[in-house]
Amino acid sequence: MSVRRTKVAIIGSGPAGLMLGHLLRAEGIDCLILERQDREYVESRIRAGVLETTTTDLMHRLGIDARMDSEGLIEDGFNLADGDQLVRIDIKALTGKHVTVYGQTELTRDLIAAAPERDLEIVFQAGDLKLHDVDSARPSVTFVKDGLAQTIEADFIAGCDGFHGPSRRAIPASLAREYTQEYPFGWLGILADVPPCHDELIYANGPRGFALASMRSPTRSRYYIQVPRGEKLEDWPEARLWDELDGRFNPLSNHGVTRGPALEMSIAPLRSYVFETMRHGRLFLAGDAAHIVPPTGAKGLNLAASDIAYLSDALIGYYGRNDDSGLLHYQERALSRIWKAERFSWTLTRLMHSFPGQSPFERRMQIAELDYLAQSMAMQTAIAENYVGLPL
């Protein structure tokens, strides 16, 4: 068995793990990233595309921002719609900030491409990955690569390996504090190389439920509609989905829905989830390993970035100043922001979706809420502040 040592072993090469690795290497802190999948798989995952300032600031700090700055779309507002009422939230005027539309897939590719020149090692296809002795002073990770069993000994382990990864399972069940909310629907999404139907995102609710019109670039669109939980992709041929999108967005949008062959179609279930035990011994959780939000409001990737802002500062303080206060308070700081983002995503999800068994009274409450929002600068400001991201 091969044995190596590093200061921080990072599990997972999604944006959270990659950003943490780059931030630590920029300060000369030894670390490496272990990833169960191969590079092609990691770089092809279709995920979110709206970046808060928190996330873009980290990319600027790292200097891995050239493609994001040149290809990302600056969005100064977005829209909420119910029926034929379209309410624009002018986030630039209300907060002085904006969001950037840049796909998580592209962000991941940028971070991976920059790794070799910055001496950040990523071990792909690290199979049978297990964490050991995380509550001791010498935690370790074992895995198999090319048939060879290997061990990484570390000072700390950062679990950035998503909801289904092994890091969270390394924490004893007796110490787990977790909260979950399953929603009775999912999002059916389609990605296509067609121009967006509107100049800014539209979150829409109507008689048939939720729909989202978004974009990845001026020539690539991403659409979603609400479907019942358990719906099968084979029940949705492309023509049926485009017909549904026509009916939802042609009356609302500036340009109308343009059809094209799907680059990708998928159905994602919606859940809210928080695992509050984000620290156990020398193991720290970040990103989807510790929390999931519904995609309504685009908080998933951005919450992972804020976790990494806290965790990287804590580790840099520990190694640079022998200050462990950041590590001691990481969980508390991260959870404060996580729960506020969970609240925003939960609130927007309840406002913009049709729920099974929803009464006529509840539907009228949704309509009244959006009508009030349309007339209230204070409420629009609250929505805008949450959408662009609360301060760290």
Q: Which domains does the chain have, with CATH numbers?
A: 2-47+104-180+271-349 (3.50.50.60)
Query: Quick one: pLDDT at residue 85?
Result: 87
Q: Give pLDDT tens digits for 15-42.
A: 999 999 999 999 999 999 999 999 999 9
Residues in the chain: 392
Helix (H, G, I), strand (E, B) or coil at 387: helix
Confidence grade of residue 83 (pLDDT, cut at 50, 70, 90): confident
Question: What token pair was written down for 241?
Answer: 């989905």
Question: What token pair was written down for 389?
Answer: 């991201």
Query: Quick one: pLDDT at residue 152?
Result: 98
> Is the CB of residue 6 less than 8 Å from the CB of residue 152?
yes
Listed in sequence order, the residues at least 6 apart from 270 whose beta carbon sits closer than 8 Å to its beta carbon are 182, 183, 185, 186, 187, 294, 295, 296, 349
Query: Quick one: pLDDT at residue 45?
Result: 82
Q: Comparing C-alpha atoms, which of 368, 70, 87, 344 is closest to residue 200?
A: 87
The predicted model scores a pTM of 0.94
Instruction: Report which secondary-structure segment, H or E, holds 377.
Output: helix 377-388
Q: Give pLDDT tens digits for 297-339.
A: 899 999 999 999 999 999 999 999 999 999 999 999 999 999 9
Instruction: Name the amino acid, one letter, at 350.
Output: R
Confidence grade of residue 228 (pLDDT, cut at 50, 70, 90): very high
Taking the C-alpha atoms of residue 20 and residue 299, their distance in angstroms, rounded to an integer, is 18
Query: Quick one: pLDDT at residue 1?
Result: 75
Taking the C-alpha atoms of residue 227 and residue 210, their distance in angstroms, rounded to an integer, is 9
Query: Quick one: pLDDT at residue 184?
Result: 96
Query: Quick one: pLDDT at residue 147?
Result: 94
Per-residue pLDDT, averaged over 113-128, amounts to: 97
Query: Quick one: pLDDT at residue 324?
Result: 96
- CA separation, residue 169 to residues 164, 289, 338 (Å): 9, 10, 20
Query: Quick one: pLDDT at residue 210?
Result: 95
Q: Give pLDDT tens digits for 168-223.
A: 999 999 999 999 999 999 999 999 999 999 999 999 998 888 999 999 889 999 99
With 0-12 / 13-18 / 19 or more C-beta atoms within 10 angstroms meaning exposed / middle / buried, residue 294 is buried
Query: Quick one: pLDDT at residue 28?
Result: 97
Instruction: Report which secondary-structure segment, H or E, holds 153.
Output: strand 148-159
Q: Give pLDDT tens digits for 34-67.
A: 999 999 999 988 777 899 999 999 999 999 999 9
